[in-house]
Amino acid sequence: MIAHDFLCPSNHITERMVKSGQQFIRCPECGKRAGLVYLSRAQRNAQRFEPVYYLENAAGEKIIPPAGDKEIAAMMPDYVQKEARTLSEVRELTKHLDRQSQERFYKYHSKRIENKRRNTETNLEFALRAREKMSDPLAQKMTDYAIEKMRDQRREILPTFKSSGHFEVFE
Ligand SMILES: [Zn+2]
């Protein structure tokens, strides 16, 4: 059995479950013969379109639970259950999720870069202080070399976030 639309000469549209191959039904409105309405594949897909279930919190963060599992909602009281019902709503949801994961990526990355920069800064300060107390020329030379390396490293880290507007933490 499959659901089809049937159209009669008086333009009544009736949805009816019929055996595949059945071309006509009697129109329940006027009793005239109603013929099967053929839909394009796109139209059929649009008809079959299922709403996308998702969760949203007050901050506007959206989550699609795995396999649309509604039980997850019970474990997340901060989230409201929502549905994207039209294609444009689904498109909006998809766009939002893309943006969200991109922001998370940048947040994660900027934290890592910030840590690296801090470590380099700390090591550099430590080396500079140690360098002041050194009297042995060979130790001085090696420390100067290490300091130069750390300064290079710091220069390498800087452009990474300066070239991208996303790493505002460093400004
Ligand atoms: Zn009719």
pLDDT tens per residue, range 51-62:
788 889 998 999
Ligand 1 centre from 8 Cα, in Å? 5
Q: Look-up: residue for tokens 């009281």?
A: 77
Kindly give the distance from the C-alpha atom of residue 7 to the centroid of ligand 1, in angstroms, as a whole number: 7
CATH number of 2-48: 2.20.28.270
Structure tokens at 161: 């976030």
What's the gap in Å between 90 CA and the centre of ligand 1?
35
* Residue from 95, 99, 92, 61 nearest 78 by CA: 61
Q: How many helices and strands (H and E) does the chain possess? A: 4, 7
Does position 170 have pLDDT exceeding 60, yes or no? Answer: no
**Ligand 1: distance of its center to the CA of 2 in Å?**
21
**Average pLDDT score over the chain:** 81
Q: Using 50, 70 and 90 to split pLDDT, how confident is the model at 129?
A: very high
Ligand 1 centre from 4 Cα, in Å?
15
Q: Are 97 and 72 in contact (CB under 8 A)?
A: no
pLDDT at 67: 65
Q: Which of 42, 164, 39 is CA-nearest to residue 103?
A: 164
Instruction: Report the separation in Å between the CA atom of 18 and the middle of ligand 1, taken as the mean of its atom positions.
Output: 17
Distance 15 CA to ligand 1 centre (A): 12
Instruction: Give the whole-angstrom CA distance, residue 162 versus residue 169.
Output: 10
- The winner for highest mean pLDDT among 25-34, 46-55, 56-65, 88-97 is 25-34
Give burial (CB, 10 Å; 0-12/13-18/19+) of 161.
buried
Output the CA 132–ligand 1 centroid distance in Å.
98
CA of 21 to the centre of ligand 1 (A): 21
